[in-house]
Amino acid sequence: MPGSIETIRRDCFLCLLLLVVGIMWGKSANGEEIRVESALLTLIEHADLPASESGPLVQREIVEGATVDIDAVLGKIDDHEAALVLERAKTELRIANAIVENDIKVRFARKSQEVALAELKRSQESIEKFPKSVSQTELDRLKLLADKATLEIEQAQVDHEQAKLSKLLKQSDVERAELLLQRRKIKAPFPGMVVNWKKQRGEWVEAGTPVVRIIRLNRLRAEAFVSSKIPAADLLGRPVQLVIDLPGKPKSRFEGKLVFVDPEIDPVNNQMRIYAEIENTDLQLRPGQSATMVIPLAKSKD
């Protein structure tokens, strides 16, 4: 289990350095500060990105060592079938749209009702002027036609509402097909660097299988241990400085913020783990480097 071995090795390295160097206290111009001589830089975000769908890997867009933005397409699983499903769904949606926009049945039913009611009205007016000019049977037939026309309007309206619901279903089918198509793309979940392709172009990939490893370098974590006698509330959220010797740039300084204080205390050395997040915009820092972390404890005058 490489991940577990790497974690154990990192923790052992941290403990060894701290036991040898220890924690040094000093004075700054603003007051007291903590200097941890052996803070270790580690990754905050890293991922072995898997394929979401099974199929052959047909594209590897980014070479190893290249940096990418969030949502950048790194690779793609064959998507021909998914594209056909999407095209069919779009066609069915266009048909559903045409049916919804077509209100001929409703208009025809209303026109039929107008004619039936007009004919019924003329028959009733004729009876008023000339009794028995229209038989009761004929009058009943005309009333039935008028009622039928009214019901046909209601049925046409019901059919139209069903067509609208069918359109919504077709719209959902299109969205689902688009999602399945997008799932064939392997995208960067955060800005970072592609460091290892685990699959070759043309190789079959099962869903869930790691395909490419990406790590985030523009923000790193500096881990260290400090005495448990320091109140956690005095540390959390404080700005920190990371002092590190870079090639050609000795004692380079980087700003960060202390974002975590472990609530657990190591019973052996009575220390607690802390870490700060360090901005690494120019990518000068690298995971695995050791540096000095300076935490000023003097309260701000703001």
Q: Over the stretch 142-166, which tens digit does the pLDDT of each residue have?
A: 888 888 888 888 888 888 889 899 9
Q: How far apart are CA 17 and CA 293, in angstroms?
A: 14
Query: Is 273 in contact with 230 (CB distance < 8 Å)?
Result: no
The structure's pTM equals 0.67
Residue 19 pLDDT > 80: no
Query: Is 202 in contact with 220 (CB distance < 8 Å)?
Result: no
CA-nearest of 256, 237, 253, 257 to 245 is 253
Q: Over the stretch 210-237, which tens digit does the pLDDT of each residue have?
A: 999 999 999 999 999 998 888 878 788 9
Q: How far apart are CA 51 and CA 77, in angstroms?
A: 8
Encoded tokens for 43: 């990754």
Burial status of residue 99 (CB atoms within 10 A of its CB: 0-12, 13-18, 19 or more): middle
- Which residue would you say has higher pLDDT here, 11 or 160? 160
The distance of Cα 191 from the centroid of its chain, to the nearest Å, equals: 14
Residue 59 pLDDT > 70: yes
Q: How far apart are CA 38 and CA 15, in angstroms?
A: 10
Q: How far apart are CA 235 and CA 259, in angstroms?
A: 9
Mean pLDDT, residues 26-51 = 80
Structural element, H or E, at residue 246: strand 239-246
Burial status of residue 276 (CB atoms within 10 A of its CB: 0-12, 13-18, 19 or more): buried
Mean pLDDT, residues 155-180 = 92
Return the CATH architecture of domain 2-44+216-296: Beta Barrel (2.40)
Q: Where are the chain's structural domains? A: 2-44+216-296, 50-78+184-214, 80-182
Return the CATH architecture of domain 50-78+184-214: Beta Barrel (2.40)
Residue 29 pLDDT > 60: no
